[in-house]
Structure 1
Amino acid sequence: MADPHRNRAAVVVNPIKRTEVDLRSLVTKVCLDEGWDEPLWLETKVEDPGQGMTREALEAGVDLVIAAGGDGTVRCVSEVLAGTDTPLGLLPLGTGNLLARNLDIDINDPQAAVLDALNGTERRIDVVHIHVDHAQDSHVFLVMAGLGFDAAIMGDTRDDLKDKVGWLAYVDAGIRNLPGKPARTKLRIDGKKPFYRRVRSVMGGNCGKIMGGLEIFPGARLDDGLLDIMTVAPRGKLGWLGVAAGLLRRGKGRDPSLEYFRCESAEIQTLLPQEIEIDGDTLGQGTHLLLRVQPRSLRIRMPYGKKDPAVLSQTEP
């Protein structure tokens, strides 16, 4: 029986994520040691990757929802928490864990991550709503979404290789998907006059860093109310070298292989269907994306300490 005088967390956990410790026992012990009640434990399912469990947690009146899984689980939990007063905590269990990496949450120490979720500083960050092929209902993402090459990588990454070598499995998929033709793409930024590009990929970012500390969206911040758009258009046989050089220069330069735009909304349309991904989850193929920022609509817990200004605009709590 929950004690009405103590705070209580719910843990929305992806049960297929392997851990070396008994995660439920660890989280329960940390909660009790910190003066919280025993947590509500909710496991995701194939047919419900987290939204239903998060609604159940809110109905139970918990004080915090901890997403225990990869970026996909975090995204599904955030889809329900955005716009509410209930904060999100992260217990990273995935391969990428990109949001946790951007927020300096320990991806290798579950106890430290839970402590930060219970007691860390709290900020408000943006979420981005994305409508696919004019659908009325939207998904949300916190890190990035993409159409084209990057989505093909996500869809073609081998799960068995991820278990063996972690994020290097994405490199393997990237190399295998380098060949391909650019797609004629129409873009409209903040409702202005549309323009056209022939690109291999269009990506939208809410924060900038990926594995290895590489910043692919220079200056992107989680709480600035803005979305960063990047187009990738390699030219010729050595085109991908130009893309790589542009990324290493953090977008500085005039190479047309990479273009950046900053906006509150973006519309992307292709003539032929392209692969689509959001926060690492593939959504199949589509021809139209509409992205809109919902500024500072998600409360999130993170470690105390000064935050990297490349991640958050408000570097003090």
Structure 2
Amino acid sequence: MASSAAGPRQRAAVIMNPIKKTDVDIRALVESACRDQGWDEPLWLETTKEDPGRGMAKEALEAGVDVVIAAGGDGTVRCVAAELAGTDTPLGLIPLGTGNLLARNLDIAVDDPEAAVTAALTGTDRNIDVVHVTLDRALEGDVFLVMAGLGYDAALMGDTNDTLKDRVGWLAYIDAGVRNLPGKPVKSTIRLDGGKEISGFPRSVMGGNCGKIMGGLEIFPGARIDDGLLDIMTMAPKGRLGWLGVVAGLLRRGKGKGTSVEYYQCKEAEIFTQTPQEFEVDGDHLGKASHVAFRVDPSALRVRMPQGEKDPAILTDPEV
């Protein structure tokens, strides 16, 4: 836990996505909070179109700061986390995006920047899992913290209208979702932990590190962010009313006969598709792939979150 007790003065680095518009002056807010806590003036770094956060996170680590705060959306958080994973430097969050899914899962205020800043400086540290992703056996991969998907959900993310998203927020995803409902399933095979294989014709295959999305809906029921496990979900609508079956399967958490939603757990997974499909990680559309490999890196990332008891559906030990 962070402290303002006597001793070496602590310092935060803030990596901010400058295109995120806010009603408050985030920089002034952070600088004021640092003064109040007896911290040094923060190191301020801004992302660019060419570098959405990784280079800035490396610079922050080289500066030896005590916490690196990602101020932006899920994409900024993911890029900063990719560099902090495997280090002892905690990640703080100031949610400024549309989804802010990691913040929602960790009970970090998504509509109160002052509370988020306070948590980033004075909160408690917990280690969470990071999931590594490789597309089409590339030499370099990526990571995600919340969820990734191949198929329908990725097409939805890639087709979301940015102007509409700036205007109406997460409702823009509904618009894209409706427009992408038509489509044909693709033959796919999922290999779990190098052994068991599941074949079928899903519209979407998703991997989850934690479960909650907007509105408190649990896409991956029971998916805890620190259990060392990856949750896999498939959506396979059947017939003219197939998507109603998917909705029912989500509400029933995959239980019951004839469900269009199936769940699995593993530490590693590979997905093979007959033709390349759209792919996304934490809401960032990465293009198309016909082979995706997931690997969990347990407890790889230290995250600073508000003090107090946490949701037992998200963390294996809710007491902090």
TM range (shorter): over 0.9
Please give the residue correspondences for 1:13-24 in structure 2 after superposition, counting only pairs within 5 Å: 13-24=16-27
RMSD: 0.9
Letter in 2 for 1:264: K
Shift, 1:282, TM fit: 0.5
2:284 and 2:153 map into 1 onto residues whose CA distance is 11
Instruction: Specify whether residues 188 and 239 from structure 1 end up closer, same or farther in structure 2 by C-alpha distance, changes over 3 A only.
Output: same
2:44 and 2:37 map into 1 onto residues whose CA distance is 17
2:120 maps to which of 107, 113, 117:
117
Shift, 1:249, TM fit: 1.4
Contact kept in structure 2, 1:186 and 1:194, CA below 8 Å = yes
Match of residue 313 from structure 2: 310
Contact kept in structure 1, 2:188 and 2:199, CA below 8 Å = yes
1:241 maps to which of 229, 241, 244:
244
**Please, which moves more after superposition, 18-27 or 218-227?**
18-27
Contact kept in structure 1, 2:129 and 2:300, CA below 8 Å = yes
2:237 and 2:258 map into 1 onto residues whose CA distance is 10
TM-score by length of 1: 0.98
1:110 and 1:236 map into 2 onto residues whose CA distance is 46
Q: Secondary structure at the match of 1:183?
A: coil
Cα deviations across residues 173-202 of structure 1 (Å, max 9, x unaligned)? Answer: 000000000010011001104331101000
What is the identity percentage for the equivalent residue pairs of Structure 1 and Structure 2?
Answer: 69
Cα deviations across residues 26-79 of structure 1 (Å, max 9, x unaligned)? Answer: 111111111111110000011100000000000000000000000110000000
Match status 1:175 vs 2:178: yes
Shift, 1:172, TM fit: 0.6
Letter in 1 for 2:106: L
2:277 and 2:234 map into 1 onto residues whose CA distance is 14
Shift, 1:254, TM fit: 2.6
Shift, 1:256, TM fit: 3.7
**Structure 2: runs of 5+ lacking an equivalent:** 1-6
Following superposition, which runs of at least 4 residues in structure 1 exceed 3 angstroms of deviation?
Answer: none
1:223 and 1:254 map into 2 onto residues whose CA distance is 30
**Structure 1: runs of 5+ lacking an equivalent:** none
Letter in 2 for 1:145: A
2:88 and 2:101 map into 1 onto residues whose CA distance is 24
Please give the residue correspondences for 1:251-270 in structure 2 after superposition, counting only pairs within 5 Å: 251-270=254-273
Aligned length: 314
Q: Secondary structure at the match of 1:85?
A: coil
Contact kept in structure 2, 1:218 and 1:251, CA below 8 Å = no
Please give the residue correspondences for 1:37-186 in structure 2 after superposition, counting only pairs within 5 Å: 37-186=40-189
2:287 maps to which of 277, 284, 287:
284
TM-score by length of 2: 0.97
